[in-house]
Structures are given as C-alpha cells and as structure tokens.
Structure 1
C-alpha cells in the first residue's frame, strides 16, 4: 500500500479555505479517483511543536492506493481538472509526497 500526501505549507500571506477544501475539492478528487483511492483523510494544522508556534502546514491530505501505478492510472486522466481547482481554495503551491506504508 502507498500513501499520497499533499501538504500545504504555512507561510506569511498564505490563504486556505478549509470549508471549500472539505466540501468541494476533496469530494471531487475522491469521485474522480474512484475505487483506486482506498481511503482519504484531511488534517488541519493547529500549532507547531513549541507553545505559541504556528503550524508548519495549513493543511494536509492523505490518500491511500494499492500501488504507485494504481495512483498514477487514476490521477493522470484527471490531473488538469484537480489542479485547476487549487486556486479556488488556496494561494499555496501544494507539495506532494508518495510514501510506502510500512506499519
């Protein structure tokens, strides 16, 4: 199993519409990726490691697939649609990481 994570770094001037992300963007992504996406979750950054420190990330999304090939096959046909929606909820350039789930 692999996990595809999308991180939205927190920086001065960054904006992120969590309601739109939860109510519009992620349901669209899950619909487009179909059964290839085994499950997904969204995290909202609340704080950094020290008291009063802001979070490193405004938000993060995690989606699980059987393999990198399964993710790529599901994502590629819809990449333009998914990426075109990003400006509707943030001015942050998303960072993507694909990881092997080991435990």
Structure 2
C-alpha cells in the first residue's frame, strides 16, 4: 500500500481555507485520483497540547500501488495544482510512503 501525503506548514502571513479544502478540493482530488481512500487532517498542536501546530492541515491518499498512483497523478496534477489558489498561499510539502 502506498500513501501520498501533502502537508501545509503553518507559516505566518500565509492563508489556508479549510472549508474549501475539505468540501471542494479534496472531493475533486478523490474523483480524479481514485484512491482506495483519503483523509484530511486539521493541525491542532505540536508535540504537547497547547503548543503551536507545525502544519495547518494535511491530506493522505492511499493507493494499492506506486504505478497506479503515478499514472493518476501524472494526468491530473495540473488541474489539482491550479485549484490551489482557491484555498491556500502555502507551498506544500509532499511525501510518498510505503506502508509496511
């Protein structure tokens, strides 16, 4: 199983519209990428309750194989990136992981 994660670092002066992200962008991404499932995280705190969260949000997509993910993202990345202006000014950090 492959997990594709996108993290949005908390940065002063940057914006992130969580409602648009979870209600519009993520359903679009789910439709285009066709993952096994996906999740959206809202950052609450860092290593201790009450400390600032290092990320305002993150998402995680799960795929059966790296090949399937690669085929889907190569076709749909431009559309998904174009929609970013509608919910954030943050440059995301991405990671592809194998769930072991």
TM range (shorter): over 0.9
Q: Which runs of 5+ in 2 are unaligned?
A: none
Gaps in structure 1 of 5+ consecutive residues: none
1:26-81 Cα shifts (integer Å, max 9, x gaps): 000011112xx100000000111235321000000000011111101011111100
**What is residue 4 of structure 2 aligned with on the other side?**
4
**Alignment correspondent of 1:75:** 73
Query: How far apart, CA to CA, are the structure 2 residues paired with 1:99 and 1:51?
Result: 27
Q: How does 1:36-75 map to 2 (within 5 A)?
A: 37-75=35-73
- Superposition RMSD in Å: 1.0
